[in-house]
A and B are shown apart, each in its own frame.
Chain A
Amino acid sequence: MISVASQFSEVPGPRLIEEGAFSGEAFLDQQLRPAFLAAESDGATLMIDLDGTQGYATSFLEQAFGGLSREFGSTRVLKVLRFKSDEEPYLVEEITGYIGGADE
């Protein structure tokens, strides 16, 4: 499992590393991609806990999850990733949309 708040930042940042701290690009490089590949090779799922942060900009979400989908394809990504978002339930649908939209 990855808890964004405790393992990355309570204040997710901008899109790219060059734009500022705790970016979507940094999250993808440091946390998401390695954990995704590890879970996939183990035949497991990867839970992403989205709670505990101040909120997510579209730029961050699109870069992190859309970026993962552009790299590996939405089918592979959706097969492995699972989401927990009690504080903002619709966030899961939103992220799933970015993952699916990356194929277009």
Chain B
Amino acid sequence: MRFLQYGATLVLGLVIGFATGYFGRLLFTIELKKELGLGDLLNFAAVVIFAFLLQNYLQKHFSDSRVEKDHLIGIIGQAQDTISQIRKDFFDAFSKKKLSAEYKAAVVIHFRNLSNSLDLLRAALGQCGYEAEADKCAELQSLYVEYKRQITGGSFPTGPYGSDVLSDAEKTANKLYLELTNKRIRVNKT
């Protein structure tokens, strides 16, 4: 399928090229010198060198920009994966109406990972030139503190979770996840 696409593009290019050449010859006739001077050669060399340098510069610039975006998007993905893991473990503990020692250890470690991902994201956004987005990370960190308080505050880890905790924690997790998604989209678009 890809071969057909390339082939069709090539044929179309050739047809346009021949048509332009044919009709151009009919419309215009330019008398060209049948000699090549040193100035012509230098001019040609300069064009080739400039085209080569410009192409390399643009390729590197766009390549670097893409690498940075992919790095930032990767960090955002890590944070979102951790939120998903917290939600999963929390639902499990909520439905069992019991907070086991394993759950308590795991959820605290998940929140540490989430905190570090958000911190890393803030630093990386600044380093990659997204200062405005880095400044907006305070909102993410507020949501993180709120989410952590809802899951590990109160009488954690002794008491079972009430349904009010489920409701509040889900709302906060959704907001945090959505805010990260919006940040991913904004980074990718710019």
Contact = CB atoms under 8 A, between A and B. Distances in A.
**Looking at chain A, what size class is its interface with the partner chain?**
20 to 34
Interface of B (DSSP majority class) = helix
Contacts of B153: 57-59, 62
Contact of A97 (B112, B116, B145): B145
Interface residues of B, number: 22
Interface of A (DSSP majority class) = loop
Contacts of B145: 94, 97
A59 B118 contact: no
B116 A59 contact: no
Given A54-B105, A55-B108, A55-B112, A90 B156 contact: no
A57 B108 contact: yes
Interface string A87-104: 111110110010000000
Contacts of B56: none
B153 to A, nearest CB: 4
A59 B141 contact: no
B119 A56 contact: no
A54 B109 contact: yes
Nearest to A11: B105
A93 B158 contact: no
Contact of B152 (A58, A88, A93): A58
B105 A19 contact: no
Interface of A: 11, 13-15, 19-20, 54-59, 62, 87-91, 93-94, 97
